Amino acid sequence: MNELKPSWSVFDIAKKADELAQLEEKSIQPDFWNDAASAQTTMQHISKLRNEVQKWQVTFQHIQDTLELAELGDYSLEAELDAEADQLAEQVEKLSFQAMLGGRYDNEDAILAIHAGAGGTDAQDWAQMLMRMYIRWAEEHNHKIEIVDQMEGEEAGIKSAMLSIQGDWVYGYLQSERGVHRLVRISPYNANSKRQTSFALVEVWPDIHDDIEIEINEKDLQVDTYRASGAGGQHVQKNDTAVRITHLPTGIVVSCQNERSQVQNMNRAMQVLKSRLLALEQQKQDEEFAQLKGEHVSAEWGHQIRSYVLHPYQLVKDLRTDYETGRTADVLDGRLDEFMESYLRYKVGS
């Protein structure tokens, strides 16, 4: 049987279990819901802690059961025990990797934005392919997905889209996707079937639901309202319910059109703007630290992170880690964990 040596103390699951117990005790106090916003935030934290602790506890019990089976000394169970050990090793590896995610916001939800680059219809089609890829990844992990905003292309695809993805460790994983994604293929929009290179920019920042302590001067905001767009049907608003906020000092633009009212869209857009400003401040600190270390800091549009080649051969390659695969269809169908984990190990080791 393969050797399995989980280091439980390293990940301090007992400490997290104690924290969970304390928060659960707090949540049943009579005055807990007096501050509804704070209570909601605490309940979200309880849910994430409970999921993490239960996964480790279930895995630990599985290990104990397997060890007891092995101690029986029944050689007829050797093949079964080997299979159990391989399965447990994979589970522990996955959980250990998540425990390595030490960033302040790694266990937060995420906002993911996609912008088509130069290249007209091909680039807009590529942006939509990426949007589908991330939606399929989220669905595969049972994450909740919300399309906050979407701008359709003229002929096909999308010019841009903003997704809210909610679940455990979503930002921790999706941070690996930030940067420029390059597609090489035979263009379906070219009558001569020429090979086309298209680019799209992916932005990711944590979707923080707590009250973010960032002061925003109303004079720094330009607020525009417009009619929400969509494919048609009863959910397309006839009034100007969609909201676009431009933060003039930074040039950050946030749009929201998925809520039912203008007030709801305004509140959601402000929440996203605060998250983006917080992420921008963190990015500045990271860049300053990198410069002090003498590292090269690339502008996002100049930072190509991954290449997807569909012609003349099949290959997806991450240009930071050199991880690659020829299973292009699987990747475009949302099988991204290997790329994400490869990047995050590279990041921790660098």
**pLDDT 10s per residue in the chain (350 long)?**
444 444 444 456 777 788 888 989 999 999 999 888 788 778 877 887 887 788 778 887 888 887 877 777 777 777 788 888 888 877 777 776 666 676 778 888 999 999 999 778 999 999 999 999 999 999 999 999 999 999 999 889 999 999 999 998 899 999 999 999 999 999 998 878 889 999 999 999 988 765 567 788 899 999 999 877 654 333 344 467 899 999 999 999 999 988 878 898 998 899 899 888 988 887 777 666 555 545 544 444 567 899 999 999 999 999 999 999 999 999 999 999 999 989 988 887 65
Cβ partners under 8 Å of residue 43, min gap 6: 27
SS3 216: coil
Tokens standing for residue 61: 């019990």
pLDDT at 8: 43
Whether residue 85 contacts residue 66, with contact meaning beta carbons closer than 8 Å, is answered with yes
pLDDT at 319: 94
pLDDT at 129: 98
Would the CATH topology of 8-100 be identical to that of 109-291+299-349? no
Length of the chain: 350
Domain boundaries 8-100, corresponding CATH code: 1.20.58.410
| Cα 117 → chain centroid | 21
- The domains of the chain are located at 8-100, 109-291+299-349
- Distance set, CA 343 to CA 74, 174, 175, 314, 327 (Å): 42, 10, 9, 21, 18
pLDDT at 108: 87
pLDDT at 278: 85
The DSSP code for 280 is: H
pLDDT at 99: 65
pLDDT at 288: 64
Cβ partners under 8 Å of residue 246, min gap 6: 221, 222, 223, 224, 252, 253
Domain boundaries 109-291+299-349, corresponding CATH code: 3.30.70.1660
pLDDT at 286: 67
95 residue type, one letter? L
155 residue type, one letter? E
Whether residue 257 contacts residue 243, with contact meaning beta carbons closer than 8 Å, is answered with yes
Dist CA 188 CA 209 (whole Å): 41
The DSSP code for 32 is: G
pLDDT at 69: 74
